[in-house]
Amino acid sequence: MTARTPVSQLAALPDGPVTVAGWVETVRDQKKVQFVILRDETGSVQLVNPAVRELDPETSDAATADAFAVTNEISALAHGSFIKATGTLKHDERVKLGGLEVKIESLAVVSEALEAPIAADSSLDKRLDWRFLDLRQPKQNLIFRVQTTFLHALRTVWVEKGFIEIHTPKLMASASESRAELFQLEYFETVAYLAQSPQFFKQMAQSAGFGGIFEVGPAFRADPSFTSRHATEFTSIDSEFSWIDSHEDVMALHEELLVAGFQAIADKHGDEIREAFGVEVTVPSRPFPRVTLADAKRIVAERGYEVPRADADIDPEGERQISAYVKEEFGHEFVFLTDYDSSIRPFYHMRREGDPSVTNSYDLIFNGVEISTGAQREHRIDVLEAQARDKGLEPEELAFYLDFFRYGVPPHGGFGMGLARVLMLLLGESSIRETTYLFRGPTRLLP
């Protein structure tokens, strides 16, 4: 089989023979000439064929017969069919699509397509029903190339710092944080739970002496929410590391990772994102602004919005309001909300020395939406047990977790961050359903 050349590599080749393959995006079947726009995973190219509409069996040679066959094949092409074409590459600045075209010599239909049941302007739900077709759109393809670049940049930072990548189990014998929002399933003679986060296992790595670790993997929340930011299964970006002095160390790493990720995206995809999404990728400056939760609620109130519950976390409208304030005051798309009350944080968050009503923790808000929670963890077993009881948890139920701390754990901290939310906000999309490869929600298990 003749090797194909990806469309993105054609511009660097000299004029001459080439083989391309992909799906049919457009056919313009004119009387004297035919044009086919072929798209593969890297881009689009124009194929051209001088049409041969009639064949005289007595006078036509083999070349004319082949051209006649190609003409008929192109006339019958269905949009979306996968084809392979061999021909002559020609650079021509008059060609609007990339300044080059391929004159067809032979064409084979590899897989014929039915008429597509969706279009680019179909509703999101319908597009998700036919996600494999929806993802053929260049804009959708770009989302996942951006995702790849982003994660590669993060991994580069971690690896250069000597962090270890781990893959934690998603089947758990007990709840990772609480029994709320847990999926329960039969597991042989007992029950298991789908992990809400790798939290306990990240901390186990600190007891194991791994030091810095990271994971990019699935997490599950039995949350019946139908908002633009929630999913029942999502990809979580997690990191944990030892020998920190406070949550400020965690925030510093978080900043470094995001700056590296956004810089890589801007460098590699900035122009494409501007064209496809109308968004300018802004690489955030360091340090990110920091606002305590109490100050954030006060600022939001001064802007005319009262967070419904004074003893609770800031709500989505509050997040939008504090982001607008930070954008106005600091010209920044990110803000760390810090000093969360211990009453609204998990038992394993370290409480502030001298003021146990406050935790060494933060939420990171990006363009009006919370994308991450991070904290310094409590590593002292007696304090950890007391804080668990304070939250109504029985230490016996947490025995496997608490054992990590009975055998020594250094001071440590980390964060978890939702990948689809970051991409949604970066690209200016309206829902994480657009930036999730295959979305899972309360009413969606297919495709």
Whole-angstrom distance, CA of residue 35 vs CA of residue 277:
28
- Specify the amino acid at residue 245: D
Residue 419 labeled ligand binder: yes
Tell the burial category of 119 from Cβ atoms under 10 Å away from its Cβ (0-12, 13-18, 19+). exposed
Whole-angstrom distance, CA of residue 113 vs CA of residue 424:
31
Please compute Rg for the chain using Cα positions.
28
Question: What crossing angle do the helices spanning 138-160 and 247-277 adopt, rounded to 10°?
Answer: 150
Whole-angstrom distance, CA of residue 377 vs CA of residue 394:
19
Which residues lie below 8 Å from residue 42, measured CB to CB, with a gap of 6+? 6, 7, 8, 9
Residue 444 labeled ligand binder: no
Whole-angstrom distance, CA of residue 103 vs CA of residue 96:
15
Residue 179 labeled ligand binder: no
Collapsing DSSP states into helix, strand and coil, what is residue 189? coil
Residue 420 labeled ligand binder: yes
DSSP 122-174: S-HHHHHHTHHHHTTSHHHHHHHHHHHHHHHHHHHHHHHTT-EE----SEESS
Whole-angstrom distance, CA of residue 138 vs CA of residue 42:
9
Reported as type and span, the H/E element at residue 327 is: helix 316-330
C-alpha dihedral, 248 to 250 to 253 to 257, nearest 10°: -120
Residue 272 labeled ligand binder: no
Whole-angstrom distance, CA of residue 117 vs CA of residue 154:
38
Binding residue positions: 177, 221, 370, 373, 377, 418-421
Binding residue positions for L-aspartate: 177, 221, 373, 377
Binding residue positions for ATP: 370, 418-421
